[in-house]
Amino acid sequence: MDGRLQVFTGTGNPALAEAIMRFLGVPLGRAIVGRFKNGETRVKLDENVRGSDVFIIQSMQAPVNEHLMEMLIMIDAVRRSSASRITAVIPYYGYARQEKKSSGREPISAKLVANLLVTAGTDRILTVDLHAPAIEGFFDIPVDHLRAAPLLTDFFRLQEMRNVVVVSPDAGGVGRAEDFRIRIGADLAIIAKKRAEADRPEVIEMVGDVAGKTVVIVDDMISTGSTLVEATTTLRARGAEAIYACAIHPLFADGAGRKMREAGIARAVVTDTVPLRESERDSAIEVLSVAPLLAEAIMRIHKGLSISALFS
């Protein structure tokens, strides 16, 4: 790619952006990203981006709409400033759970977000563990979809745990749990859940033997923590001994950390795609950084090198 590398960040995850820049060895692009007094988002680039290969980092956790709008406005500012290419780096893609209609008269918000990003001027997407891989197909521009699984499985391999069963807490996560199971050499169990209403999961059935075993529940995100708590209750009733949880995106809405502690989850391992609030930090929560992975991907995209090695 001709043009110099410039990286800007929104307010979604500045700590991750700074960690990425330390690996890249270049300073973050200077920009004002704030609010006008009337609540509108204000963006002003403080450096020239004409002809540059620009990456904009933004995670879309709560307040989701603020972070999304900020991203769109930053992309617009960079496009109108004549950058030669814009890559939206989205460690956590918001609205991803609304990727299909589960009943009539519902939106497909994940597709709307894709449309907005492209309309704003995005040329490529770099993201981590989309809730549903099919979201990649919502874009007609290149999408580099990184997986944090190797980071998490390396952590569990180092714990040298025995008699481990990896559990998918819902049918949609079986592929993810199966991949995890193979990587750490464990058995697999599957929980089927339904949602009677939004954010209220209920376990319907469980397949697999967890009696006397150490269990690792693997999910893509922890939002309210209810999925993990429900799964933990079922696993204990089936005789599981120690229960660990592992997820890529720690959204931690609605006191998720407290609920997990009360449920007796021994340890939760997450990544920093979403910043963990100080109030949710706890010695039982281990945060692994995706910064080296994203930095390597940004450098390879910039240099026009393959990033498929990062997928495995």
Q: Applying CB under 6 A, which part among 38-46, 214-222, 263-271, 300-308 lies near ligand R5P?
A: 214-222
Determine the interface stretch with ligand R5P among 28-36, 54-62, 77-85, 170-178 (rule: CB under 6 A).
Answer: 170-178
227 binds ligand R5P, rule: CB under 6 A:
yes
Exposed / middle / buried, residue 185 (Cβ in 10 Å: 0-12, 13-18, 19+): exposed
Based on the number of CB atoms within 10 Å of its own CB, is 290 exposed (0-12), middle (13-18) or buried (19 or more)?
buried
> How far apart (Å, rounded) are the C-alpha atoms in residues 70 and 72?
6
Nearer to ligand R5P, 121 or 255 (CB): 255
Choose the stretch contacting ligand R5P; rule: CB under 6 A; options: 148-156, 225-233, 266-274, 278-286: 225-233
Question: Interface with ligand R5P includes 70 (CB under 6 A)?
Answer: no
Q: How far from the centroid of its chain's Cα atoms is residue 184's Cα? A: 21
The residue (of 90 and 301) whose beta carbon lies closer to ligand R5P is 90
**Catalytic entry in 101, 193, 213, 259:** 193
Which one, 24 or 268, has the nearer CB to ligand R5P?
Answer: 268
Yes or no: say if 31 and 8 are a contact pair by the CB < 8 Å rule: yes
170 near ligand R5P, rule: CB under 6 A: yes
**Max Cα separation, the chain?**
61
Pairing outcome for strands 41-45 and 214-222? unpaired
What's the DSSP call for residue 276? P
The stretch among 9-17, 108-116, 180-188, 220-228 that binds ligand R5P (CB under 6 A) is: 220-228
Nearer to ligand R5P, 153 or 223 (CB): 223
Quick one: which of 217, 200, 225, 219 has its CA closest to 282? Answer: 225
Which listed residue (226, 232, 234, 271) binds ligand R5P by CB under 6 A? 226
219 binding ligand R5P? (CB under 6 A): yes
| Nearest in space to 256 (alpha carbons), one of 222, 216, 215 | 222
The answer to whether residue 193 is catalytic is yes
Length of the chain: 312
* CA–CA dist 258, 279 (Å, integer): 10
Considering only residues 87 to 126 of the shown chain, the ones binding ligand R5P according to CB under 6 A are 97
Q: How far is the CB of 228 from ligand R5P (least distance, A)?
A: 6
User: Bridge-partner residues for 125, per DSSP?
Assistant: 88, 143
* Interface size with ligand R5P, residues (CB under 6 A): 16
Catalytic residue annotation: 193
Q: Provide the binding-site residues for ligand R5P, judged by CB under 6 A.
A: 97, 169-170, 172-173, 199, 201, 219-227
